[in-house]
Amino acid sequence: MANQTYTSEGVVHLIKGEGRLLKSGGSWVFDNEVEQVTGTFENGDVVRVEDFDGYFMGWGVINLDSKIRVRMLCRHRREVIDDRFLEERVRAAYDYRKEVIDTSSCRLIFGEADFLPGLVVDKYEDLLVVQSLSLGMDRLKKSILISLIHVLQEDGVSLRGIYERSDAKVRKKEGMTPFKGWIWTGKEGWIQQPFNDMLRQWKSGEEETFPQPAEDVHVSITENGVSYLVDVENGQKTGFFLDQKQNRMEIQKLAKGKKVLDCFTHMGTFALNAGLGGASSVLGLDISELAVAQATENARRNHLSEVVTFRAADVLDELPKLYQAGESYDLLILDPPAFTKSRTATKQAIKGYREINRQGIRLVKDGGYFATCSCSHFMTEELFKKTVKEAADSVHVRLRQIQFRTQAADHPMIWGGDDSYYLKFMIFQVVREK
């Protein structure tokens, strides 16, 4: 493949005094921080970013249709943004994962934290699942994925294919068409039509249609000794939540002999780790019938059906019913979806987190264990701790903290880029006042 260069002649000039996030290590330049854009370029191109006085700030991808006007790729003036540059980024990301985590199934590329903003690539055994959330990444994606295939092959990893899960609504904010489907298979090579479709601008009211998969889009993975069947086509995000891998292991270590309740169980991940850890009984709750069916199948696959069971229920409604029925648990896990995806909704989300934690804590026996988490980066560490304490105080319970954890090491947190730090996970012992 010829070494293609992606830098345009476009120059983004910042307003005097703006670009504070960028200057503190962040990866984004917002529309209201830009004085003007000069030179020749197209949306999605790589452009030069300069401060108000012409000082060079770096190279990034531009999108005039997005509030995030520029997503930064590099801070070095003499760097050439070409295929070799992208391969270096990919190789560095993979080499890092090999040192910090089991790479059989893991996140290989984590957007801004790997200096490839707006791009996620998850590896599930021999299948890659890619999610592109920025126009610039759509333009560079094929080169990045070709590099990734080569880097994996060099390490003896052969792939069945690459599946695209760019069906997130946030793509519409970038002026892009949501897309879901195969983009590469080991048998057929690159499937060109999806790339043409993905570069089309999305128009309001346009019907979303996704091609039917050419073959099975399920993959069997093993994590912490637990086997899962991952539904890449219909599962949440890219099919599975890899970020809780190391946190699930902590639950496995803690579960022996315990009666466990796993709330918002999804595919049964915490519940199955508890079962494998020797829990006496485990109940998993989730509002989704599909999730419960998947979790039940996963229990069967792991020969845990007699110990680990699942029920479709709205957790917010079910926890008060369990309390009224006199139920109590040795270990209770709360892993809710993000209650807020915007800064403006945070105040309301705090009430939701406080209430769900209150309901959960009061179901835990004296001396029992309570694990709780938040996956919203808008719910900061300080704010989440304060909210959980308020929940405990409201039911006259003291919490003895055992662990505070974050996302798995394949989801690194880049300081200065707050979006990369989103998962907070805490384990407590519940001490009731006498």
CA dihedral 227, 233, 238, 241 (to 10 degrees): -30
- The mean pLDDT value for 97-110 works out to 97
Q: Cα dist. 311→22, 56, 86 in Å?
A: 46, 57, 46
Whether residue 212 is predicted with pLDDT greater than 70 in this model: the reply is no
- Looking from the CA of 248 toward its CB, the CA atoms found within 13 Å total 23
218 vs 343 pLDDT, higher one: 218
What domains appear along the chain, each with residue ranges and CATH number?
7-74 (2.30.130.10), 83-215 (3.30.750.80), 219-432 (3.40.50.150)
Report helix, strand and coil shares of the chain as percent, to nearest 5: 30, 30, 35
Q: So what's the pLDDT on residue 341? A: 63
- The mean pLDDT value for 69-82 works out to 95
User: Measured in whole angstroms, how far is the alpha carbon of residue 193 from the centre of its chain?
Assistant: 27
Whether residue 28 is predicted with pLDDT greater than 80 in this model: the reply is yes
Chain mean pLDDT for the chain = 91
Question: Is 330 strand, coil or helix?
Answer: strand
Q: Are 285 and 318 in contact (CB under 8 A)?
A: yes
Q: So what's the pLDDT on residue 174? A: 87
Strands 259-263 and 329-334: parallel
Tokens encoding 325? 């029925």
Residue 220 banded pLDDT, cuts 50, 70, 90: very high
Number of H helices and number of E strands within the chain?
A: 11, 21
Any catalytic annotation for residue 375? yes
Whether residue 216 is predicted with pLDDT greater than 80 in this model: the reply is no
Tokens encoding 403? 């662990």
Q: Which of 106, 263, 373, 375 is catalytic?
A: 375
The per-residue b/e assignment along 300-320, b for 16 or more CB within 10 angstroms, e otherwise, is: eebebeebbbbeebebeebbe
